[in-house]
Structures are given as C-alpha cells and as structure tokens.
Homo-oligomer: A and B are copies of this chain.
Amino acid sequence: LRKGFPEVVFCQGKTQDQIITILKKMSEQYPNLLATRVQPDHFLAVQKEIPDIQYHPTARLFILERKPAEKKGCVAVISAGTADLPIAEEAAVTAELAGSYINRIYDIGIAGIHRLFSHLDQLWQSNVIVAVAGMEGALPGVVSGMVGRPVIAVPTSVGYGAHFQGLSALLTMLNSCSPGIATVNIDNGFGAGYLAHLINQLAEGEK
C-alpha cells in the first residue's frame, strides 16, 4: 500500500519489551523502519537487538535505514517557535526517510512576522508546506494566504492556560480563512510528514 514507505511503529503506550519484540521481527523483514514517540531510555536495549538502528533525540524517533530511498522534489517544513522543534523534526525526518528533500525553516512565528516574509520565495519553490505552530497557531493560515502551495498544518501542545494542550492552535488552523490548508492531530508531526511526502511524490510524477 505504502509504496516504498518504511514500516512504522507508534511506541507511546507500549512497554520496552513489546517495542523490542515488534522492531526485532520487523527488522528481519523490512530494510527501513521508523519508530515514533520513543523514550530515550529504551534506546540501549533496542540497539542491543538491532545494532544499526539510530536514535533521533529531538524528533523522538528510532530509525533503521538500510536501503535509503532516493530523494526527490521538496517539502518545506516551517515552524513558529523553538519549542515546536520536536514536532517539526518528526515531520521532517519522516518525509526525508520516505524520499523527499526537506527545506527546514524554523522560528518564523507571528511574534516576529518579518522573518517569515524573507522566506516566501523558498516556500513557493517547495511542492508542499508543513507548517508547525503552537500558542495561537496562526502561522499556517498566514502562509497559506501568501503562498499557493498545499499547506499541512500541525498544531502543537506548546502553550499554556487557554491553550488547552493544543486545542486553541488546532481550532485556529481548522478555521483558517485562507483555503489550501488541512490540519492533522495536535503534535502529529509524523502524519504531516507522511502526507507531505505523498503529495511531493505525486508532484514529482510518481504514484
């Protein structure tokens, strides 16, 4: 179904034993694996079983990449603030592993909106944009109002008070007045990266 895409394991809520068993078995069948929402202290035990697995701490991923995919096209991954990095990286690494070139543009949120303006050209040069933001979550809508590319909006749980763990950013993105946006779950960098890659692939003439 997922042409060329690595197998994926969602590790949150699984015990270390379950994770090792699943990854071990998969690593015997598939060259490339992605384990998301991993805990740092599981890495040594996993690595003991699968020595060539890698750990990406910011993105909270374990990655096995025995047959790297050929990279194509361009996915822009942009984020509003420093605290959104884990989710932005989760998206970027996911799409990269699947075979997309990534253009990372971070820390261009609304509080310093002029930083965004200087990157509009680069955004037009990507096939699709993943826009990650917490707090008020306005970045994806502003970008979509200025750049004619599909925007995948990722609300993050970064914020406090009436942010309600990401609900506020989520609602902002769903209610955007500029069309050309769709939204994934709060903190779902993986889903955004996956979908961005699907679109990038299509734009590069592959189905």
* Number of identical monomers bound together in the oligomeric complex: 8
Residue of B nearest to A198 (CB): B150
Contact between chains at B190 and A174 (CB < 8 Å): no
Let me know if A72 is at the binding interface, CB within 8 A: no
> Using Cβ atoms and an 8 Å threshold, which residues of chain B touch A3?
148
* Segment from A46-54, A61-69, A131-139 that makes contact with B: A131-139
Cβ contacts A107-120/B at 8 Å (1 or 0 each): 00111110000000
How far, in whole Å, are A161 and B158 apart by their CA atoms in the complex?
Answer: 11
Greatest chain B CB density within 10 A among A3, A149, A152, A198 is at A198
Let me know if A195 is at the binding interface, CB within 8 A: yes
Chain A residues in the interface with B (C-beta under 8 A): 1-3, 8, 10, 12-14, 18, 22, 37, 80-83, 109-113, 127-128, 134-138, 141-142, 145-150, 152-153, 155, 157-188, 190-192, 194-195, 198-199, 202-203, 205, 207
14 intermolecular pairs with C-beta atoms under 8 Å apart: A10-B83, A12-B83, A37-B160, A111-B178, A128-B202, A136-B177, A153-B182, A160-B188, A162-B171, A162-B185, A163-B185, A171-B171, A174-B186, A202-B203
